[in-house]
Amino acid sequence: MSTVPAYAAPSARAPLAPFTVDRRDPGPLDVAIDIVFCGVCHSDVHQARDEWGGSIFPMVPGHEIVGRVSRVGARVAEVKVGDLVGVGCLVDSCRECGQCRRDREQFCQRGPALTYNGTELDRKTPTYGGYSTQVVVTEKFVLRVPAGLDPAAAAPLLCAGITTYSPLRQWGCKAGDHVGVVGLGGLGHMAVKLASSMGAEVTMLSTSPAKEADARRLGAHGFASTRDDGIFKRLAGRFDLLVDTVSVPHDYNKYLGLLRPEGAMVLVGAPPEPSPFSSFALIMGNKRLAGSLIGGIAETQEMLDYCGAHRITADIEVIPIQKINEAYERMLKSDVRYRFVIDTASLKGA
């Protein structure tokens, strides 16, 4: 076992502060990783502040991990010491149930082991995430980061990337489709990059008019300020697919009006509070309202390989861990362009 530096939320109301975690010695199938960068996801904020309920404290958040392999167990087959690898939201699952067998480990019927705010499969040992210098993960849940991608800018692919890639694939996003992305933050900016790389005509729907130039640079063809109610008339019936990444409650009915008949709106943003919606918003036009949770391990690797081939990474602001509480406050003000990434060198001696 090794004891390594980390940052933890001691409780829902306290700021994150220095902490240490014990990482197990790698077993025969385990990979020990020296974490180099870890992205900061809005889900880290929701969970560190117990906004979804059931949070486990102390909590070391972080599920957008990129690092170098430092040790491998005797039966590890594919990964070698020195490889650049990633770890996302999952660190294990039963591998036997129907969902695991169809590569949907996020829906493991016995419950997957989440990277943090969860437990290992023994259902006892707490898991601690990437706001630390090392992690030990079973090989099957270790992803390969394609050569040629900047390691810091690739970290957000492990959650923001897969969470937006998966619904685009599930709804068959293709050239000429009209795709609307709601909310230009970490997930939203990846959705814009990915959908436009697939040939879609992308419109950014944002509460922040100041982000228009960025949205266009990221690949959006159009931009609409959702503070202007007129856009809900002007763009009515336009979209084949809406990907909604907003982290706070908002009126889904209005956005459903933007879909063409049989169009779909996929929620990936996870506001803690429920929002009412009218059945008529769906009935009029056979519309679909759906949700999507990250992606399985095979799909996450597929996304990373796709991003490697298309040279897609996140737009990031690298921060030392000591700025994490400030970064959370800035995310809450929609002031992130477009993902904070922790340089874990700042943890050494923290």
Binding site for Zn ion (CB under 5 A): 41, 43, 93-94, 97, 100, 108, 159
Residue among 113 and 268 whose Cβ is closer to ligand NAP: 268
Q: Nearer Cβ to ligand NAP, position 213 or 283?
A: 213
Stretch that binds ligand NAP, among 25-33, 117-125, 192-200, 266-274 (CB under 6 A): 266-274
Please report how close the Cβ of residue 321 comes to ligand NAP at its closest, in angstroms: 18
Residue 192, contacted partner among ligand NAP, Zn ion, none, CB below 5-8 A by kind: none
Q: Does 334 bind ligand NAP (CB under 6 A)?
A: yes
Which of 12, 292, 66 shows the shortest CA–CA distance to 173?
292
- Contacts to ligand NAP from residues 192-231, by CB under 6 A: 206-208, 211
What minimum distance in Å lies between the beta carbon of 247 and ligand NAP? 3
Q: Which is nearer to ligand NAP, 36 or 220 (CB)?
A: 220
> Minimum distance between the CB of residue 208 and Zn ion, rounded to whole angstroms?
21
- 4 forms bridges with which residues in the sheet? 21
User: Which residues in the 133-162 window bind ligand NAP by CB under 6 A?
Assistant: 159-160
Q: Tell me: cis bond preceding 276? Omega within 30 of 0 counts.
A: no
| Helices 297-310, 160-170: crossing angle, 10 deg rounding | 100
* Contact flags string 6-45 toward ligand NAP, x per CB under 6 A: -----------------------------------xxx--
- Closest distance between Zn ion and the C-beta of residue 96, in Å? 6
93 binds, among ligand NAP, Zn ion, none (CB under 5 to 8 A by kind): Zn ion
Pick one of Zn ion, ligand NAP, none as the site partner of residue 108 (Cβ within 5 to 8 A by kind).
Zn ion
Position among 91, 202, 256, 331 found at the interface with ligand NAP (CB under 6 A): 331
| Piece of 90-98, 130-138, 192-200, 290-298 that binds ligand NAP (CB under 6 A) | 290-298
Out of 32, 235, 312, 336, the only residue in the binding site for ligand NAP (CB under 6 A) is 336
- Nearest approach in angstroms of CB 225 to ligand NAP is 9
Residue closest to ligand NAP (Cβ): 185
Residue 99 near residue 293, CB atoms below 8 Å: no
In the set 84, 248, 282, 318, which binds ligand NAP (CB under 6 A)? 248
**What CA–CA distance (Å, rounded) separates 162 from 297?**
10
The nearer residue to ligand NAP, 290 or 345, going by C-beta atoms, is 290
By beta-carbon proximity to Zn ion, the closer residue of 203 and 300 is 300
For the chain, the three-class secondary structure string (H helix, E strand, C coil) is: CEEEEEEEECCCCCCCEEEEEEECCCCCCEEEEEEEEEEECHHHHHHHCCCCCCCCCCECCCCCEEEEEEEECCCCCCCCCCCEEEECCEEECCCCCHHHHCCCHHHCCCCCEECCCCECCCCCCECCCCCECEEEEEHHHCEECCCCCCHHHHHHHHCHHHHHHHHHHHCCCCCCCEEEEECCCHHHHHHHHHHHHCCCEEEEEECCHHHHHHHHHHCCCEEEECCCCCHHHHCCCCEEEEEECCCCCCCHHHHHCCEEEEEEEEECCCCCCCCCCCCHHHHCCCCEEEECCCCCHHHHHHHHHHHHHHCCCCCEEEEEHHHHHHHHHHHHCCCCCCEEEEEHHHHCCC
Rounded Cα distance between 145 and 148, Å, is: 9
The residues binding ligand NAP (CB under 6 A) are 41-43, 46, 159-160, 163, 183-188, 206-208, 211, 245-248, 250, 268-270, 292-294, 331, 334, 336
